[in-house]
């Protein structure tokens, strides 16, 4: 096992990795920027090392600095978490070349799956269903011919990166060339790679992904699916497992395709095969060659610690799990709690948390890297925490999620908690019959946010108390608040 693991990330995922290491008895080293000097993850680690200024390019994306710190700390392994350098093949190679174990898949796999065009080619050759589409676009005339042959509407997508960056939906030929130019420009700015390609745009799809785990001894298993269709601008907002659309027969087919996809690249470590599903058919979307934000859902249903599994596999140990060892029980749902204002087009709202109380009780897990008094910086993703809820079935999970959202108190910054509650309470979401267009198809959710912000909640009680001093004033404030209609 490793002597020490350097965690090349920040926030809740850094804490999550460090917890896994602590249970395995492995010391950890954190890296932090100017913006994270007093962050919880930097305090939680056994050691913490300064990286540089707050901008990511000067800190969490600076490979040379991270490797220098790894040497200084005495670490022999580096865990990249998700985001930042997690799927950067160059970083993985740099780790390998410097004598560190990269806790993730091989750099060759990152290269192959990092290009969506290359990934499509590999999957098609392996017999995994792929959405009808093209290779990288070089000639606009050929692109127009390809789009006509595929059939409108089509999607222009960046070959590199993820998170929906560079995507454009095109309804007809008149929009095509301008959309390609915009997508190429965005892709170049975001990923340093202007390559884009065309895919058939699947109407009203669901986004369903399968978790896979492989070791260097040839063992490869799946741990079931997660439904990730509640998205805004191609960014996931709420996920659940199992998928409400799943049947035993469909699960068997999709799981077989996921394993075939992973085997086609000799996959080692934790990864996720993502599919688009519509009207009984599914197609390969991409492979996330890292730990997913929503990995906790699978952990709740299977009892398998995916981060510990990553570490053991990276150390060369056998997985120690066979497919028949994986059993699913119950239902789980995750809400991504973010510092953003739903009433201002989800604009990020950095600031200092003045009051914080996370929900608790049976079936509740909160993965967080914040605390009362924590200043949320403007430089990084706005994610505050992940609220994970477990229950015996979907009905119990939805009831428990509503209760947990009522209990969650974050004061000092505007959050999306009311929006999450609006989605969970929506009749269409309650039925489980929804697609990736759910949020854009229901603009009334914003009106629900306004109503929910005025409802009674523990957050309101805490806010009522925030400017009081005496016992009598506190009692009066609470009484007045609880009498509100």
**Mean pLDDT along residues 445-472:** 74
| Rounded Cα gap, residues 186 and 189, in angstroms | 5
Burial pattern 456-475, b for ≥16 Cβ within 10 A else e, equals ebebbebbbeeeeeeeeeee
Please say if the pLDDT value at position 474 is more than 60: no
Please say if the pLDDT value at position 111 is more than 60: yes
Compute the half-sphere exposure of residue 247: CA atoms within 13 Å on the CB side of its CA: 7
What is the model's pLDDT at position 457?
66
Residue ranges of E strands in 37-150: 47-52, 77-79, 101-102
Instruction: Read off the tokens for 367.
Output: 């993965």
Where does CATH 3.30.470.20 sit in the chain?
206-453
CATH architecture of 206-453: 2-Layer Sandwich (3.30)
Per-residue pLDDT band at 141 (split at 50, 70, 90): confident
Please say if the pLDDT value at position 16 is more than 60: yes
Q: What CATH topology corresponds to 5-103?
A: Rossmann fold (3.40.50)
Any idea which residues carry the catalytic annotation?
290
| Rounded Cα gap, residues 330 and 148, in angstroms | 45
| Residue predicted with more confidence, 32 or 38 | 32
**Mean pLDDT along residues 414-438:** 97
Q: What percent of the chain has pLDDT over 90?
A: 79
Where does CATH 3.30.1490.20 sit in the chain?
132-200
| Rounded Cα gap, residues 289 and 278, in angstroms | 24
Where does CATH 3.40.50.20 sit in the chain?
5-103
Beta bridge partners of 391: 331
Best-predicted range by mean pLDDT (180-194, 365-379, 443-457): 365-379
Q: What is the mean pLDDT of the chain?
A: 93
Please say if the pLDDT value at position 485 is more than 50: no
**Mean pLDDT along residues 70-84:** 97
What is the model's pLDDT at position 407?
94
Q: What is the pLDDT of residues 252-266, one digit of tens each?
A: 999 999 999 999 999
Enter the CATH code of domain 132-200: 3.30.1490.20
**Mean pLDDT along residues 152-170:** 83
What is the model's pLDDT at position 483?
58
Whole-prediction pTM value?
A: 0.90
Please say if the pLDDT value at position 227 is more than 80: yes
Sign of the CA dihedral with 274 first, then 263, 84, and 297 last = positive
Please say if the pLDDT value at position 453 is more than 70: yes
Q: What is the pLDDT of residues 320-379, one digit of tens each?
A: 999 999 999 999 999 999 999 999 999 999 999 999 999 999 999 999 999 999 999 999
What is the model's pLDDT at position 165?
79
């Amino acid at each position: 096992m490793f002597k020490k693991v350097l965690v090349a990330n920040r926030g809740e995922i850094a804490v999550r990795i460090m917890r896994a290491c602590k249970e395995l008895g492995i010391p950890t080293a954190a890296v932090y920027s100017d913006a994270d000097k007093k962050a919880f993850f930097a305090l939680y680690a056994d050691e913490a090392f300064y990286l540089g200024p707050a901008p990511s390019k000067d800190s969490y994306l600076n490979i040379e600095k991270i490797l220098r710190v790894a040497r200084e700390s005495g670490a022999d392994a580096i865990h990249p978490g998700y985001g930042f350098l997690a799927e950067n093949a160059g970083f993985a190679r740099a780790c390998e070349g410097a004598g560190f174990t990269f806790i993730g898949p091989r750099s060759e796999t990152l290269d192959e799956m990092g290009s969506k065009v290359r990934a499509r080619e590999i999957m098609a050759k392996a017999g995994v269903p792929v959405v009808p589409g093209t290779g990288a676009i070089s000639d606009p005339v050929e692109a127009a011919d390809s789009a006509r042959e595929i059939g409108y509407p089509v999607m222009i997508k960046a070959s590199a990166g993820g998170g929906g960056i560079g995507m454009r939906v095109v309804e007809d030929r008149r929009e095509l060339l301008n959309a390609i130019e915009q997508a190429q420009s965005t892709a170049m700015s975001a990923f340093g790679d202007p390559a884009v390609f065309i895919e058939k745009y699947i109407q009203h799809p669901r986004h369903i992904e399968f978790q896979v785990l492989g070791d260097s001894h040839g063992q490869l298993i799946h741990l079931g699916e997660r439904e990730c269709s509640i998205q805004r601008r191609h960014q996931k907002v709420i996920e659940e497992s199992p998928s409400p659309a799943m049947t035993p027969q469909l699960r068997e087919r999709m799981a077989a395709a996921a394993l075939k996809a992973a085997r086609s690249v000799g996959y080692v470590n934790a990864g996720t095969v993502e599919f688009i599903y519509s009207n009984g058919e599914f197609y390969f979307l991409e492979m996330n060659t890292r730990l997913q934000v929503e990995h906790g859902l699978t952990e709740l249903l299977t009892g398998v610690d995916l981060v510990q599994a990553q570490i053991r596999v990276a150390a060369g140990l056998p997985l120690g799990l066979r497919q028949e060892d994986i059993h699913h029980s119950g239902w789980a749902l995750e809400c991504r709690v973010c510092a953003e204002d739903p009433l201002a087009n989800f604009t990020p709202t950095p600031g200092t948390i003045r009051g914080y109380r996370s929900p608790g009780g049976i079936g509740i897990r909160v993965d967080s890297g914040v605390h009362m008094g924590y200043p949320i910086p403007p430089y990084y993703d706005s994610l505050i925490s992940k609220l994970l809820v477990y229950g015996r079935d979907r009905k119990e999970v939805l009831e428990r999620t509503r209760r947990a959202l009522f209990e969650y108190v974050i004061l000092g910054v505007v959050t999306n908690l009311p929006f999450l509650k609006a989605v969970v309470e929506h009749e269409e979401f309650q039925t489980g019959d929804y697609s990736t267009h759910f949020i854009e198809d229901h603009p009334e959710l914003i009106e629900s946010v306004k109503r929910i912000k005025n409802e009674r909640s523990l957050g309101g009680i805490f806010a009522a108390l925030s400017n009081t001093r005496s016992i009598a004033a506190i009692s009066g404030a609470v009484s007045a608040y609880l009498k509100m209609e």
